[in-house]
Amino acid sequence: MGNRSVLDGREIDCFIPAHNLGIEINGLYWHSERHILPSYHQKKYLDAKNKGVTLIQFTDWEIINKREIVHSIILNKLNMGKYKVYARECSISNITNKQYKEFLEENHIQGFTSASLKYGLFEKNILVMVMSFSRSRFSKQHEWELIRSCSKLNHNVVGGMTKLLTHFRRIYSGKLMTYVDQSHFSGSGFSGWVEEGLTQPGYAWTDGSETISRQKCQKQNLTKWLPSFDPSKSQTENMHSAGFYRIFNAGNLIFSIE
């Protein structure tokens, strides 16, 4: 299963030559900053990309706790999704925050994140894809941000992204951007968009058995859940004292479209 020929001696846990697809399983403990550099996962992704290989990187926590989503991502990369749905046969509707949140928690590996505009694509009253938007959160060069685009597990919604984007554009104008998580996705679905750049690796905190978001670990939030919190120490000092270390991802590709 392991392959050391693609990356000149460095191992890819599972390599599927017919699809130029590599799959990595990264243990939270051994892949935290305690043992590797923050740039490690991004560099490995980019080195594989330069060799024509798409590298997907999962943590062992994701494999255990989000197994069905992991399977669905891999099957879609192999063009082996169980169900094919055609967007032309589906209807679009606004969805409630409850519908949106439940769908993302069940189908998106990063789970729920808030958005101001939420649309759903329905096939015979079954929600098969969602797409959400908000005003651009971090960039003054873009008016809008595509927050989440997600299909139902094991479903290939042909034309779904185009149909939902067209619906959004009928109502709202302005430059649109999005971030694509390189650890799990290549951005191949954003044909026609401009690739503007790549962010630095992001991170979560881990004790080796679970991950905690960086937002929850901001110093002002540590008082709510960290028993050993010491206000005289920095965020990093508090987290390290409690046995938590950062685990970095491969960063985000930035895409935009007028």
Instruction: Please choose, from the candidates 73, 193, 192, 75, the residue with its C-alpha nearest in 3D space to the C-alpha of residue 145.
Output: 193
Instruction: Please choose, from the candidates 179, 175, 176, the residue with its C-alpha nearest in 3D space to the C-alpha of residue 197.
Output: 179
Same domain, residue pair 106 and 132:
yes
Look at residue 48 and tell me if it is in a domain: yes
Burial profile 64-75: b = 16 or more Cβ within 10 angstroms, e = fewer: eebeebbebbbe
Instruction: Please choose, from the candidates 139, 135, 133, 113, the residue with its C-alpha nearest in 3D space to the C-alpha of residue 197.
Output: 139
Domain boundary among the residues 119, 146, 174 is at 174
Report the pLDDT value the prediction gives residue 115, as an integer from 0 to 100.
97
Domain containing residue 123: CATH number: 3.40.630
Q: Kindly report the pTM of this predicted structure.
A: 0.92
Dihedral sign, CA of 73, 78, 81, 82?
negative
Domain boundary among the residues 52, 77, 102 is at 77
The neighbour count for residue 6, using CB atoms within 10 Å, is 19
Average pLDDT per consecutive 10 residues, the chain (258 residues; last block may be shorter): 88 95 97 97 97 97 96 92 94 98 97 96 97 93 96 96 96 96 93 95 96 94 95 96 97 96
Instruction: Please choose, from the candidates 94, 196, 191, 189, the residue with its C-alpha nearest in 3D space to the C-alpha of residue 142.
Output: 196
Domain boundary among the residues 28, 62, 77 is at 77
What is the Cα–Cα distance from 11 to 2, expressed in whole angstroms? 6
What is the Cα–Cα distance from 67 to 257, expressed in whole angstroms? 33
Same domain, residue pair 91 and 155:
yes
Token couple for 137: 């959160």
Look at residue 181 and tell me if it is in a domain: no
Domain count, the chain: 2
Same domain, residue pair 26 and 103:
no
Phi first, then psi: what are they for 83, rounded to 5°? -125, 135
Dihedral sign, CA of 177, 205, 225, 63?
positive
What's the domain range around 52?
A: 3-77
Look at residue 207 and tell me if it is in a domain: no
Report the pLDDT value the prediction gives residue 1, as an integer from 0 to 100.
65
What is the Cα–Cα distance from 22 to 46, expressed in whole angstroms? 12
